[in-house]
Each structure stands twice: as C-alpha cells, then as structure tokens.
Amino acid sequence: MKIEILFEDDYIIIVNKPNNSLIHNSYYARNIKEPTLLDLLNEQFGYDFYPVHRLDRKTSGVLVLAKQKENVAIFQELFNTNEIEKIYLGIVRGFVQETKLITSPVKNPDTQVYKDAETNCEPLNTKLLDIAVHPYENSRYSLVKLTPKTGRMHQLRIHMNKISHPIVGDYKYGDRFHNRMFEQEFNCCNLFLHAHQLNFTHPISTIKINVKASLPVDWIKIMDLFKWET
C-alpha cells in the first residue's frame, strides 16, 4: 500500500492515513499483526518517521510526522498550545439541526481520570432514507464538521455519542443497528470519521501550512449515494 503524501519539507511529512491502519504497535493493539503506518512509510521511503500526534486506527486522514526525532516536541507544542486547527468530517446518526459546542469531560483509559474536552459540531447536510433501522421505519443521517479544541483519546467519538448522534461505523461508542445497515445495504464497514484538514504556521520555517486529505473509498460511495458535497 502506497501512502499519499500531502506535504513534505526538510522537517516533516504530512500524510493521508488510510482507514484501519495502526500508526505504530502498541499494547492496546497487540493482537493486530498487519503492517503499521510507520512500517509502510519505512518501506516506501527507506527510513523512519516520528509521529507528532495520533489518530485512532479506524480514523482516516491528515497525520503529521517528523523526520528527526529531536523535532517532535517542537511540532507537538502546536497541539499542546492549541495553535493548530484540526477539522474532521463525520457521518452520524440522526439530524444535527444546529451548531453545538460539546464540553463533556472525557475519561483517560490509562488513569481513569476525567479531563476537560471541547468539540465544536457544525451540521453540513442531512439525508432521510426509506430504509428501516430498529426501532424506526426509516433512517436519518447527518454530515458534520467537527473541530476539536482538545485532543483526548476517542474524544470525537465519545462526544458525538454523548449528544445522541454517534458516528456511523463506530463499534465501541456507536449504534449497532445503523452500523449493521451500512454494512448490509452499502457494504461499508469502516468508521465514518475523517481528519479532513489541518492548518498551522510551521514553527521552524514560519510558512502557513493548509492541507486537506481526500476522502476514502467508502466515503466517496456514500457522498455520491446521498448526493452530498463537502
């Protein structure tokens, strides 16, 4: 699998991470044996990269990696100080009628301590389908723009579930009936959460970086079927 490169200079590389790709091996994913994103990049370029931030295995989209280990902290500071704008797209259950600011704390899985978390959710489009999904005779979906102000683990997935609009394809926090319908009707089994855009000022070169990651195949199929545009 060749990884799509969105930006590259002497310090970083920004890639479009595929669905279901681990960034690197971890204790939580110790039973997953397929090559990681770092393995694939090493095979593609012949040397190692160092992730600046994280995306869930099932989340696709924009990911920043440093070329030198000593530069990781410089770029991580952008995330720690909120000097970077992260924009995600999500397909969720139900109609999201208005922009919402979600501020529910999110529990850290390691420490079990709740931390402050903030996500802005903006509706972009909706779709009503004449396909019954338990317990209703039809099904409703929304395309949303999600802008997290913090970076807690599974934050967007937890926050959308918290407001009763879980992300389609989320088997941990989502709705199994809607997930099953997307599998059976559309042959779509992936999580519909995509890190679409990243905007920041390069801390070393000071140039403005604005990158967008193209949508995965499942996304394109649903966008066409629902007649949605980003």
Is the per-residue pLDDT at 65 higher than 70? yes
**By C-alpha distance, which of 131, 126, 29 is closest to 38?**
29
> Containing domain of residue 209, as a range?
4-226
The 10s digit of each residue's pLDDT in 67-99 is 999 999 999 999 999 999 999 999 999 999 999
Choice among 9, 39, 56, 116 that is catalytic: 56
- Place 27 in a pLDDT band, splitting at 50, 70 and 90: low
Summarised one tens digit per residue, pLDDT across range 3-25 is 999 999 999 999 999 998 999 86
Confidence of residue 53 (pLDDT cuts 50, 70, 90): very high
Dihedrals phi, psi of 77, to nearest 5 degrees: -60, -30
For the stretch 143-166, pLDDT in tens is: 999 999 999 999 999 999 999 999
The CATH number covering residue 118 comes to 3.30.2350.10
pTM for the full predicted model: 0.94
| Number of domains forming the structure of the chain | 1
Distance CA 140, CA 40 (A): 37
One-letter amino acid for residue 174 of the chain: G
| Average pLDDT of the segment spanning 18-38 | 77
Predicted local confidence at residue 184, as pLDDT: 97
Q: Could you tell me which of 164, 165, 216 has the C-alpha nearest to residue 190?
A: 216
- In this predicted structure, what is the pLDDT of residue 28? 54
Decide if 167 contacts 142 (C-beta within 8 A): no
Nearest by Cα to 155 from 117, 184, 193: 117
Of 52, 53, 18, residue with least CA distance to 36: 18
Q: Which residues pair with 63 in a beta bridge?
A: 15
- From the list 62, 59, 58, the residue with the least C-alpha distance to 16 is 62
What is the reported pLDDT for 229? 84
Give backbone dihedrals phi and psi of 214, rounded to 5 degrees, phi first: -65, 155
Is residue 56 flagged as an active site residue? yes
pLDDT at 57: 92
Q: Rounded mean pLDDT of 105-124?
A: 92
The count of other CB atoms within 10 Å of the CB of residue 157 is 22
Confidence (pLDDT) at 24: 81
| Alpha-carbon distances of 41 from 5, 6, 35, 45, 54, rounded to whole Å | 10, 13, 10, 6, 16
Nearest partner of 160 among 218, 106, 213, judged by Cα: 106
